[in-house]
Copies of this chain bind each other. A is one copy, B any other.
Amino acid sequence: MNIPSKLIEQAVEQMSSLPGIGKKTALRLVLHLLNQDADKVAAFSNSFRQMRNGVLHCKQCHNVTEQEVCEICSNPERDASTLCVVEDIRALMAIEATWQFKGHYHVLGGIISPMDGVGPDDLNIDQLIKKAENGTTKEIILALSTTMEGDTTNFYIFRKLQDFPVHVSTIAKGISVGNELEYADEVTLGRSILNRLPYENSLVK
């Protein structure tokens, strides 16, 4: 691609450094910006630097925040003795959107994935163990992706927590609400039979 301006070329280079954005898409987006008012482009540009410099990670749970401690950890109405372990803040936001969890979170910052070079030491696991150790935590819910990497991370954390008086649970694996059985995969369907529930518990409230 022979772009007739070095400045456009640099902008395309930067835009295509984002995951999933190729050179052609980047050029389309950059030319869109070129046609906008200078003020608008300045606001666009500033927003990312401001975010990078202004956003902190909560000292307690590693959620994003603009204070020392995030809104969830500093909310007195939430139960600090129940921790939900998530991979990143997108998972945290997804769980918050369900309105079904009123405890605190613990954001790992990733999952164990040897293929991507991510080991246990790269994640906020030690701090989670400490929370179990000091006795204030009663239950830890492992809410990681139901993939091989998620299962590996679950198992690693479970082993580390074994010696402490804390109840460790994982999110339920089963058939999605609204799905037809014939299209469900065998592993999920099999699990949903093994982990069957008393009828009263199965009603969506």
- Taking beta carbons and an 8 Å cutoff, which residues of A are in contact with B? 1-8, 10-11, 13-14, 17-21, 25, 27-34, 36, 38, 41-55, 63-66, 70-72, 88-90, 92-93, 96-97
Contact present for A48 and B28 (CB under 8 Å): no
A sample of 7 more A-B contacts (CB under 8 A), given A4-B93, A18-B33, is: A1-B97, A4-B71, A8-B55, A14-B48, A18-B32, A19-B28, A33-B51
CB A186 to nearest CB in B, in angstroms, measures: 30
Compute how far the CA of A51 lies from the CA of B2 in the bound complex, rounded to whole angstroms: 16
Compute how far the CA of A6 lies from the CA of B92 in the bound complex, rounded to whole angstroms: 16
Task: List B contacts of A93 (CB < 8 A).
Answer: 1-4
Contact present for A10 and B64 (CB under 8 Å): no
Compute how far the CA of A7 lies from the CA of B38 in the bound complex, rounded to whole angstroms: 21
Task: List B contacts of A44 (CB < 8 A).
Answer: 14, 17, 48
CB A32 to nearest CB in B, in angstroms, measures: 6
Contact present for A8 and B45 (CB under 8 Å): no
The 8 Å CB contact of A63, one of B1, B4, B25, B47, is B4
Task: List B contacts of A64 (CB < 8 A).
Answer: 4-5, 8, 34
Instruction: Contacts A32-B19, A34-B64, A45-B46 given; indicate if A4 touches B51 (C-beta within 8 A).
Output: no
Compute how far the CA of A93 lies from the CA of B24 in the bound complex, rounded to whole angstroms: 12
Task: List B contacts of A45 (CB < 8 A).
Answer: 45-46, 48-49
Contact present for A65 and B4 (CB under 8 Å): yes
The 8 Å CB contact of A47, one of B5, B10, B54, B89, is B10
Task: List B contacts of A11 (CB < 8 A).
Answer: 47-48, 50-51
